[in-house]
Structure 1
Amino acid sequence: MKKIWLHTSSTLAAGILLGWLIFGNEKTVQQQAPANVLCAADGSLQAYTCSMHPSVQLAQTGACPLCGMPLIPSSEKPWADPSKLKMSPEAVALAGVATAIVRPTEVVKTISLQGKVVADESRLYHQVAHFPGRIVKLHVHEDGEYITKGQPLAEIYSREVIGIAETFAYSQNNPAIIRSSRNTLRSWNLTEDDLKDFDVKNNKHYKPVTVRADFSGYVLKKYVNEGDRTSNDYMAEPTRLFDIADLSKVWVEFDVYQEDLRWVKKGNEVTFTVRAYPEKVFTGFVKRISPQVGENSVTTTIRLEVDNPHKLLKPNMLAEGSLRVKPQGGASIQVPATALLWTGERSVVYVQDTAYDMPVFECREVRIAGRMGNDYLIAEGLKAGERVVINGAFVVDAAAELAGKKSMMSLLKDRRAEDDHLAKNE
């Protein structure tokens, strides 16, 4: 409690001293200025004043009688503008206010990404047994084997296929039955050629049928063993034998933090490496940006499509990526985070008006384009060459509020009043 009281007291004392330095100087000048130069004697509508001595008011141009500086129209004096704050050099020094000129910068943002390789779902196939029966032999025994389209995968003994072979042997004079049998074979992905070795008349047709691969690719998963039974569409879901992936193209999926999403666009180039080949840099392009953020997550997923002709990239490999992007429009204004005062969706900076020979600051709303480390990119509100307060912005804002000038607090009040007005009219 004692520490809080001491901190509050010191802050109040500093505020009183700062207020005296900001506003006390003008009264001193008025007391020192000669009485015959304090106002325009001829009743002219246009008066002229001194930037350093606002108490001087003359009807004609010339030099200030107190310091010799050129007089300016009183309408141009900063204290007449509600958006501009005049501070004494002593107050600026005491508050540690520092300024810097903002310049256009060619900005390139690098976003680090973490992700993994996954199989391209459009190239992921399910090899099924198209007809019912019992697996008597498998030609593929483990995951990871590469198979080619048409390659034998399994031998299945099927009473239903044997029945079709007998139909062809004994029902040639019945076109309707033959046509139905051919349709059944077609639904099982078989033809009459697959039955040419079935010698029904010599009772040598009790043999298995060869199931051949419908696709080329790597076996990701094997589902069956020898002795297992298979089904078809008429009995149930066709029995899945293997999952097969064509890895000539793969997906690489990376997590992107929400604050970086504004930078990511379809077509962006991403470079990445995998631990298996750390010396090799792979390249891909963003093909999809997930429309939602993961549940209980602060990231969303982007997907690359990557050519993989040598099959170096394999599903579930971890990948580390880098995305380098430029803001729209190329060069951008960049200011340090210490220059910004936040007012919700918008931000405020204080710009020094260098037209005056004294510290004069203007409260300016700006729109943020993004963040670059400890700096922010300004999309609107600042121009290259302007001088911005980069240290002591809170002190300048407090002085503006005390002086009744435009400030962060006054903007917040105006916005709340506008929201209340809109709410009442709804």
Structure 2
Amino acid sequence: MNYKFDPVASAGQGACLAVLLCLALSGCSREPVNAVSNVTPAATVESVPDRNVITVTNPERFTLAEAVARHESDQTLANGVVAADVSRSYAVNSLSSGRVVEVRARLGDDVQKGQVLLTMTSPDMSQAFADYQKFKADAALAKTQLDRAQLLYSHGATAQKDLELAEDTYHKANIDTRTAEEHIRLLGGDPQHVSPLIEIHAPVSGTITEQNVTSAAGVKSLDNSPNLFTIADLSNVWILCDAYENDLGRVHLGDRAEIELNAYPDRRLTGRVTNISKLLDPSTRAAKVRIELPNAAGILRPNMFATVHFVSRGTETRTVIPSSAVLRLQDRDWVFVKLNGPRFRRTEVQAGPVNADKTQQIIGGLRPGDQVVTTALMFDREVQKSTEQ
């Protein structure tokens, strides 16, 4: 066979071979490229400082306290005021009208039973003495007539009915006389000493907590005018406070209550819950709670403000630290826990109620044995100052 060289065909075959060669080379180089692209770069670790760890100079400046575990009762706080026991409060009034001559006692005075509080003149007393004198004269006349009737009857000179009539008149005259005497005593006078003056006496011993009378003032009897005086026995007093609806389930009759007074912040008093109102105030959603406690020292005065800690009967173990060690910031509670050396950690805790001894229960975030700064607010201020500098 004879082969002829065709230049056009040879050129076409060369082009096809070139394309196939390129495809083959590209197929061979694809796998190494993918292998390189799938390699994961090495991770780099950067240490970020803990912003809650604080280093201070001279840490000995700050007092530390150890968190301790204690059996604590649930406590509910309420604000209250001191009030007189209404069963030991007595109104002083006059049963006769008149005008005040002299006031012998003043608001706030301590008085004894029977002490004269004021004197006054009274037309009612004058009329009572006039009636008493009249009835006394009638009784004397009736006695004379009775003696005469008895004498005549003994001699048969009068009928029995006349004697009985004289006896009846005499008995009625005596009744009128005794009634007039009681009227004088009721008005504050003495039947044996005729005088238009009336003395108003203290019915009990106690303290004058209200006064609505002055010298030369007019006095009306048995009307709606206020009491002349109110005397209260303050040897036992009440604390009246509001327990909100959400707290009523934790307040019970007979519960112990610890009271702190604004006037005596270092003294703690103890009383008992004796009454819980059955009605809620619709505006405050709170019920009145009454606490009774003795006041032998006399330091409790009506209308004093008080803080009441209601202590429930059940107990549970709680971590306790000084209340000054808790810092309240933006509705969150924090403490500063001592670490090694001059370092402290700011730790968020779940704070519970404050006890009457100025300690605070910690429900979570702190363990017994941890050392905390007792003056958290001062510590935080020092940290802020150093940060600004």
* Superposition TM-score, scaled by structure 1 size: 0.47
One-letter code aligned to 2:284: S
In the alignment, what sits opposite 2:201? 212
Counterpart code for 1:116:
V
1:263-302 per-position Cα deviation (integer Å, ceiling 9, x unaligned):
2110000111102111111000000111122121132221
Aligned mates of 2:281, 2:225 — CA distance in 1: 34
The residue number in structure 1 matching 2:91 is 126
Q: Distance in 1 between matches of 2:124 and 2:80?
A: 48
The alpha-carbon distance between structure 1 residues 108 and 137, as it changes in their structure 2 partners (threshold 3 A), is: closer
What SS class does the counterpart of residue 226 from structure 1 fall into?
coil
**Does structure 2 conserve the Cα–Cα contact (< 8 Å) formed by 1:129 and 1:238?**
no
- Matched with 2:74 is 109
Give CA-to-partner distance per residue, 1:235-290, whole Å, 9 cap, x none. Answer: x3576211221111100022222222112110000111102111111000000111
1:241 maps to: 228
For 1:180, the equivalent position in structure 2 comes to 179
Q: Does 1:275 align with 2:240?
A: no
Aligned residues of 2:238 and 2:291 also touching (Cα < 8 A): yes
2:218 equivalent to 1:229: yes
Which aligned pairs between 1:36-55 and structure 2 lie closer than 5 A? none
Would the aligned equivalents of 2:135 and 2:180 in 1 still touch at CA under 8 Å?
no
Matched, 1:197 2:193: yes
Map of 2:160 onto structure 1: none
**For residues 209 and 317 of structure 1, what CA distance do their matches in structure 2 show?**
36
Return the offset for 1:225: 1.4
SS in 2 for 1:178: helix
Are the counterparts in 2 of residues 231 and 237 from structure 1 also a CA contact under 8 Å? Answer: no
Q: Residue 251 of structure 1 aligns to which amino acid in structure 2? A: W
Deviation of 1:107 after TM superposition, in Å, equals 6.9
Does residue 1:167 correspond to 2:131, yes or no? yes
Q: What residue number does 1:144 align with?
A: 108
The change in CA–CA distance for 1:109 and 1:163 in structure 2 (over 3 A counts) is same
| Kept after mapping to 2: 8 A contact 1:147/1:217 | yes
1:135 positional shift: 1.0
Q: 1:252: which partner in 2?
A: 239
CA distance in 1, matches of 2:120, 2:311: 54
Per-residue Cα deviation, 1:154-177 (whole angstroms, up to 9, x for no partner): 111112212222333343213243
CA deviations on 1:333-388 (whole Å, 9 max, x unpaired) are xxxxxxxxxxxxxxxxxxxxxxxxxxxxxxxxxxxxxxx979xxxxxxxxxxxxxx
Residues 120 and 183 of structure 1, relative CA distance in 2, 3 Å threshold: same
Could you tell me the TM-score, scaled by structure 2's length? 0.51
CA distance in 2, matches of 1:270, 1:284: 5
Code of the residue aligned with 1:245 in structure 2: it is A
Secondary structure class of the residue paired with 1:168: helix
1:285 paired with 2:284, answer: no
User: Which whole-Å CA distance do the structure 1 matches of 2:288 and 2:313 have between them?
Assistant: 20
| SS, match of residue 154 in structure 1 | strand
Give the structure with higher Rg (CA): 2
Q: CA deviation at 1:305?
A: 0.6
Report 1:72-91 matches (<5 A).
none
- The 1:256–1:154 alpha-carbon spacing in structure 2 relative to 1, beyond 3 Å, is same
2:286 pairs with one of 278, 292, 299 = 299
The one-letter code sitting in structure 2 at the alignment partner of 1:148 is Q
Distance 1:239 1:130 in 2: 13
Give CA deviations for 1:94-143 in whole Å, capped at 9, x if unaligned. Answer: xxxxxxxxxxx977312122111111111121110122221111112x32
Change (3 A) 1:139 1:290: same
1 CA distance for matches of 2:236 and 2:206? 11
Corresponding residue number in structure 2 for 1:264: 251
Is contact 1:129-1:239 (8 Å) kept? no
Maintained 8 Å contact 1:230/1:239: no
Q: Is the 8 A contact 1:249 1:305 kept in 2?
A: yes
Q: Distance in 1 between matches of 2:71 and 2:129?
A: 76
Q: Residues 238, 258 of structure 1: CA spacing in aligned structure 2 closer, same or farther, 3 A cutoff?
A: closer
Q: Which AA in structure 1 matches 2:235?
A: S
For 1:196, give the aligned amino acid.
Q
| CA deviation after TM superposition for structure 1 residue 331, in Å | 6.5
- Identity percentage of aligned residues: 25
CA distance in 2, matches of 1:249, 1:331: 33
Per-residue deviation at 1:195? 3.7
SS in 1 for 2:228: strand
Q: Distance in 1 between matches of 2:211 and 2:256?
A: 36
Farther off after superposition, 176-185 or 130-139 = 176-185
* Distance in 2 between residues matched to 1:113 and 1:239, nearest whole Å: 33
**Are residues 237 and 106 of structure 1, via their aligned partners in 2, closer, same or farther at CA, if it must alter by over 3 Å?**
closer
Which residues of structure 1 form unaligned runs of 5+? 1-104, 199-204, 333-371, 375-426
Q: Is the 8 A contact 2:132 2:181 kept in 1?
A: no
Task: Determine the C-alpha separation between the residues in 2 that align with 1:310 and 1:106.
Answer: 31
